[in-house]
Amino acid sequence: MINFITRYFTSLWAFITSPFRAIWRLIVRIFPPREFTVMDTPRGNVYTFNQSSFWRFTRFCGKIGLILWASWSTYVFVYHRPLLQKRTQQLEEARSTHARHMSELQTYLAKYNELARNLNVIDDKILNTPDLAQSEKDKLMNSRIKTWGELDFLRARLNEMFSDEDFAPEYVRLSELSTEYELTRAENEELKKRNNQIIESMITVADADAMIVDTVSTMTSQNTEELRQNIKKIKSTIANLGLSEQTLVSKANKYSNPLVGSAFNPLEFDGEMDEKYQKLADNLELWHGLRRLNEMLPLGAPVEQVRITSNYGTRNDPFTGKPKKHRGIDFAGKIGTELMAVAPGRVVSAGERVGYGTTVEIDHGLGFTTLYAHLSQITVSRGDWVRPGTVIGLGGSSGRSTGPHLHYEIRYKGEQFDPTKFVKEQ
């Protein structure tokens, strides 16, 4: 054995690990290392990445494990779901039976206590009334016998209820029907009282409901008009983009992100209900959409002290002196001036761009993005979520610039448009 090991292997450790090395060679043959490149088109950078055999084999094992887990979960869900539904149905039936038995038990116990009290009263009259006439005594005795019979019936019924799992009421004798009639009449009286209370409560609820609907309708109408004031000043701008208030409201209600919250699900009511409820739901949907629209649209200026040095539109190029379209607004500012996000959004670009210099671009949703150019420093990273007022960078003069300032653009679906009405208060 030792001669065999020394002949074919350099050491005992090499002999022990030879099966593992053979397996690893097989893995490398199946999953050879790969190299691929990724081009960052906006910046013109090329990145090369290597994937080792171990990484590819691990990822393959992860995929196989995920497929096996998904298959097993699907099997368990498909096979066990009917059993769980059946078990749930049985549990609901058992609860219903228990509730019915408890109701019957309370009724029987109330009647039993009443009969026992009547029996005591009859016995007291018979024993403690010395001058009782014979006819009255016979009448009391008959009443006592009848009461005692009803007590025996209730005892038997209660014993049956506690001892028989399949207990169900069955009435075969006149005495049973008589007792059940008394019990049912008592229940009906109680139900009538509860019904009257429910009717009174329903009237109160209906009055409160009408008051609440009127109050909420008034509040939503007032708040809707207040929210519309900010949208009116950009009405012509969004119209030039092919948008309308209703379109933006609908998009805002459907949009969701970590800063503005989840999408709004509109309320829908049956056509047979009072139309005031659907009208209220529509008003709430409009109010909610306008509120989110005011929050999401990039309304306002990105600097504290607003002084515009160059507007959007055609102007003489500062380098060539020839007419050229200026696709944004320039704000005056010194190097180091704090530049702020005007609306919540996510940073989609933070770095160098040809002509723009150091830039930051923020996606606010609904198709709108804002771009800050010629910065001296960036204070956010790509992928960051920013809130209104968050400092995203400092003013500078990088790129194609003649001096310190901020070049600010608002884009819709990647195309620049005149942002003046978004920036200025009307």
**Torsion over CA of 84, 85, 91 and 94, rounded to 10 degrees?**
-140
Answer yes or no: do 73 and 19 share one domain: no
Q: Which residue has the tokens 């006819």?
A: 135
Q: Return the pLDDT at 357.
A: 93
State residue 90's pLDDT score.
82
State whether 369 and 332 are in the same domain: yes
246 within domain boundaries: yes
For residue 310, CA distances in Å to 183, 210, 323, 332 come to: 91, 56, 14, 9
Q: What pLDDT shows up at residue 226?
A: 72
Largest CA distance in the chain: 134
pLDDT of residue 174: 41
Phi-psi region for residue 380, left (φ > 0), alpha (ψ -120 to 50) or beta? Answer: beta
Tens-digit pLDDT profile for residues 122-163? 887 777 777 777 788 778 788 878 777 777 777 777 777 666
Reference 253, options 301, 285, 206; nearest CA is: 285
248 with 219, same domain: the answer is: yes
**Do 409 and 318 fall into the same domain?**
yes
Q: What is the pLDDT of residues 364-385, one digit of tens each?
A: 999 999 999 999 999 999 999 9
SS3 annotation, 90-112: HHHHHHHHHHHHHHHHHHHHHHH
- Dist. CA 381–CA 391, nearest whole Å: 12
Residue 50 lies in a domain: no
- Do 89 and 135 belong to one domain? yes
Q: Which long-range contacts (CB under 8 A, 24 or more apart) does 26-31 make?
A: 27/53, 27/57, 28/53, 30/57, 31/56, 31/57, 31/60
User: Which residue stretches of the chain have pLDDT < 70?
Assistant: 1-12, 40-41, 44, 161-186, 204-223, 267-274, 276, 425-426
pLDDT of residue 173: 42
Spatial separation of the C-alpha atoms in residues 226 and 287, rounded to whole Å: 10
| pLDDT attached to residue 378 | 95
**Do 248 and 336 have their domain in common?**
no
pLDDT at 171: 40
CATH number at residue 402: 2.70.70.10
Same domain, 345 and 403: yes
Residue 374, in any domain of the structure: yes
- HEC per residue, 28-43: HHHCCCEEEEEEECCC
Structure tokens that stand for 393 in this block: 């960078």
**Which tokens in the block code for residue 272?**
């047979």
How many helices and strands, by DSSP H and E, does the chain display?
A: 9, 14
Q: How many domains does the chain have?
A: 4
The number of residues making up the chain comes to 426
Which residue, 267, 296, 325, sits at the end of a domain?
296
Q: Indicate the residue among 296, 321, 342 that finishes a domain.
A: 296
pLDDT of residue 140: 79
pLDDT at 241: 87
Does 182 fall in a domain?
no
Q: Are residues 416 and 363 in the same domain?
A: yes
Residue 236 sits in the same domain as residue 320: no
Distance between CA 364 and CA 297 in Å, rounded?
7
* 240 in a structural domain: yes
**R_g over Cα of the chain:** 42
pLDDT at 302: 94
Neighbours of 227 (CB within 10 A): 20
Domain range for 102 is 58-162
Q: Is residue 176 part of a domain?
A: no
Distance from C-alpha of 94 to C-alpha of 102, rounded to nearest angstrom: 12
Cβ burial of 277 (10 Å; 0-12, 13-18, 19+) is: middle
pLDDT of residue 166: 62
If residue 411 lies in a helix (H) or strand (E), which one and from where to where?
strand 405-412
Please indicate, yes or no, whether residues 67 and 148 belong to a single structural domain of this protein: yes
